[in-house]
Structure 1
Amino acid sequence: MLGQRNLDPQPGTHYRSSRLSAVNGQYFFATREGTLEGPFISRHDAEQSITRYIERMAMADKLLRHSSEHIDNLQRREAIKHNQEL
């Protein structure tokens, strides 16, 4: 599949593969960030955790962007205030 994620510097070919693995009856999933999450008792639990993990990562990204925008706005206000005082 040819595509580009938001963080990729350029488009590339990405091959789909299962992110789930089982080791000694316990289930784990691999993330794009390079972590291995688990163990989970069942495949079903691991699959549900993947969905929750993606939701958490999306929320964290949204909060980080919002915080960065807020800090930028505060810095702009301080710069304007400082320039007005001069």
Structure 2
Amino acid sequence: MFGKRDIDPVPRTHYRSERVSAVNGQYFFATREGTLEGPFFTRYDAERHTEIYIQRMVKAKQLINHQRQAHA
């Protein structure tokens, strides 16, 4: 996948990797920010919460951008 995230200085190729991992029977997902979120009891729960996390991060970015525009 070729693209540029807001935090990247230049466009480059990003390779998707498995975000969900199991540790001692519990599931976690890794974020681009370098955090490990969890634990979750099932892989399904971890995958579902991955989507929720992404939606929350997108919404937070939108709110920040809205506040910056309002104060500009």
For 1:5 and 1:67, the matched residues in 2 are separated by 20
Aligned length in residues: 72
User: Greater CA radius of gyration, 1 or 2?
Assistant: 1
Aligned to 2:51: 51
Q: CA offset at residue 2 of structure 1?
A: 2.4
Alignment partners' CA distance in 2, 1:5 and 1:64: 16
Please tell me the root mean square deviation across aligned C-alpha atoms, in Å.
0.9
The corresponding residue for 2:33 is 33
- Gaps in structure 2 of 5+ consecutive residues: none
TM-score (norm 1): 0.79
Identity rate of aligned residues, in percent? Answer: 60
Deviations 1:18-37 (A, max 9, x none): 01100000000000011100
More helix by share: 1
Alignment-mate amino acid for residue 61 of structure 2: D
